C-alpha cells in the first residue's frame, strides 16, 4: 500500500453551468467515484487518488495520494476527462433549435457532461452492466479494483486503482476468481475478453485507444467481437471512452424516450416541419421514415434499436450521444405522478410508487447486451 499526504485544493475555473459533479458522476456513466464529504467526490485515476469539490462558483481538485510511478499531469487529465473544451451551453443552444424542451433541461439539469474515461475501465465496467443495476455494478467494479488493483492510502481511507488488462491476464483462473467475487455468469465474459485482447495484441490498451481515431462503425465492430459486448455496451464504450460523440446507447428506457418525445412530434403535420427545419430534405425524409418505423414497433428489437439511434443522430447531429445523456438525466429527475389513493377495502394495499432515486437505480442500469 502506497501513501502520501494531501495536496492543496486547486481551482479548475469551470462554472456550474458547464460542470456539476453530482449529476455527472452519478448518472450511470462512471461507477467508481465515492461521495466522501459535502459536495466532495474521490476516485483513484491515473495512479493518483483525486479529490473533487463542487463550490458555488467552480470545481476544485486536489491529490490525496499517488503511486511512486505516477506521472500524469492531473489538471490536464481532469480537463480531458470532463472534456471541458466542449461548451455545454453551446450544445444546448444547438439542440434547442430542434427541441425547445432543451431550454428547460439546461436549467434543471445544468452541467451534466459526458465523460471521456479510460478505455479499459469503461469496457470492463460496462461488461458488468448487462442486465444489472447501478448499485451492483459499483460493487463489482470495487471488487475488481480491490482484488487486482493497487492500493493507495489516504486521509479518507484506501482507494484502489483500476487493474490493467495485463494484470488481469496474469491470473491463470480469472473466471474462477471472478466467480468467487460474485460476478456470476459474467466471469466467463471477462476471462474470454481479457485472453482475446492480450493474446491478439502486444499492447491491448494501445489497440483499444487506437479505436479513438477509427470511424464509429469500425470501433463498434471491433468491440462487438469481444465476449460480453453487445450493441448497447459497445455504444457506451464508444461514447464514453472512444470519442464517438454521435454514438447513442439505446436501452429500453431510451427507446421509450424516443417513442414518447419524438416519434409523434416528427410525424405531426404542424410540429414535424418545425422540428426538422434545420435538416436537409434528404435527412428530413430519413427522420420521418425512422419515426414511422418506431411507431410501428411495440417493443425494442435490433432493427428498432438502430432506428432509435439513427433518429437521435438525425435530430441532434455530431453530439447526439451527449443530447441523449441529458434527455436521460432529465427523464430520471421527473417524479412519477402519484395515483389517487384507492378507496379503503379488504383488498391488499397497493405498493407506493418508487422515488426518483429508486427509478434512477433501476432505469439507467437496464442495460442489454
- 3-class secondary-structure state, position 61: strand
Distance between CA atoms of 314 and 304, rounded to whole angstroms? 15
C-alpha 202: how far from its chain's center?
A: 28
> Annotated catalytic, 232?
yes
The residue behind cell 429508486 is 358
Catalytic member of 34, 188, 225, 232: 232
Distance between CA atoms of 194 and 228, rounded to whole angstroms? 11
Distance between CA atoms of 219 and 23, rounded to whole angstroms? 28
CB 99 within 8 A of CB 46: no
- Could you tell me the three cell numbers for 69? 510511478
How many residues in total does the chain contain? 369
Give kind and range of the element (H or E) at residue 59.
strand 59-66
- Could you tell me the three cell numbers for 134? 447501478
DSSP 8-state secondary structure symbol assigned to residue 172: T
Q: Is 190 exposed, middle or buried (0-12, 13-18, 19+ CB in 10 A)?
A: buried
Distance between CA atoms of 243 and 352, rounded to whole angstroms? 41
Enumerate the active-site residues.
Answer: 232
Amino acid at each position: 500500500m502506497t501513501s502520501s499526504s494531501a495536496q492543496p485544493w486547486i481551482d479548475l475555473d469551470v462554472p456550474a453551468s458547464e460542470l456539476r459533479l453530482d449529476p455527472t458522476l452519478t448518472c450511470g456513466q462512471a461507477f467508481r467515484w465515492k461521495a466522501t464529504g459535502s459536495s466532495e467526490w474521490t476516485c483513484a485515476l491515473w495512479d493518483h487518488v483525486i479529490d473533487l469539490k463542487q463550490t458555488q462558483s467552480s470545481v476544485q481538485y486536489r491529490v490525496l495520494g499517488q503511486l511512486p510511478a505516477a506521472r500524469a499531469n492531473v489538471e490536464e487529465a481532469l480537463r480531458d476527462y470532463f472534456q471541458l473544451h466542449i461548451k455545454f451551453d453551446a450544445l444546448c443552444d444547438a439542440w434547442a433549435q430542434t427541441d425547445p424542451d432543451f431550454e428547460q433541461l439546461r436549467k434543471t439539469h445544468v452541467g451534466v457532461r459526458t465523460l471521456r474515461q479510460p478505455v479499459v475501465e469503461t469496457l470492463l465496467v460496462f461488461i458488468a452492466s448487462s442486465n444489472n443495476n447501478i448499485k451492483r455494478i459499483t460493487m463489482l467494479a470495487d471488487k475488481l479494483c480491490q482484488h487486482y488493483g493497487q492500493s493507495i492510502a489516504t486521509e479518507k481511507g484506501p482507494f484502489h486503482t483500476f487493474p490493467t488488462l495485463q494484470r488481469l491476464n496474469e491470473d491463470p483462473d480469472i473466471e474462477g476468481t471472478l466467480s468467487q467475487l460474485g460476478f456470476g455468469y459474467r466471469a466467463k465474459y471477462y476471462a474470454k475478453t481479457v485472453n482475446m485482447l492480450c493474446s491478439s495484441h502486444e499492447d491491448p490498451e494501445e489497440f483499444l485507444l487506437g479505436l479513438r481515431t477509427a470511424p464509429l462503425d469500425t470501433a463498434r465492430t471491433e468491440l462487438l467481437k469481444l465476449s460480453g459486448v453487445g450493441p448497447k455496451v459497445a455504444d457506451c464504450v464508444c461514447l464514453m471512452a472512444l470519442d464517438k460523440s454521435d454514438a447513442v446507447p439505446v436501452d429500453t428506457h431510451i427507446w421509450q424516450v424516443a417513442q414518447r418525445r419524438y416519434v409523434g412530434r416528427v410525424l405531426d403535420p404542424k410540429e414535424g416541419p418545425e422540428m426538422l427545419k434545420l435538416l436537409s430534405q434528404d435527412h428530413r425524409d430519413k427522420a420521418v421514415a425512422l419515426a414511422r418505423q418506431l411507431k410501428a414497433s411495440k417493443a425494442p428489437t435490433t432493427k428498432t434499436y438502430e432506428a432509435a439511434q439513427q433518429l437521435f443522430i438525425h435530430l441532434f447531429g455530431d453530439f447526439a450521444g451527449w443530447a441523449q445523456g441529458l434527455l436521460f438525466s432529465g427523464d430520471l429527475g421527473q417524479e412519477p405522478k402519484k395515483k389517487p389513493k384507492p378507496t379503503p377495502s379488504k383488498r391488499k394495499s397497493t405498493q407506493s410508487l418508487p422515488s426518483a432515486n429508486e427509478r434512477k437505480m433501476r432505469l439507467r442500469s437496464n442495460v442489454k447486451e
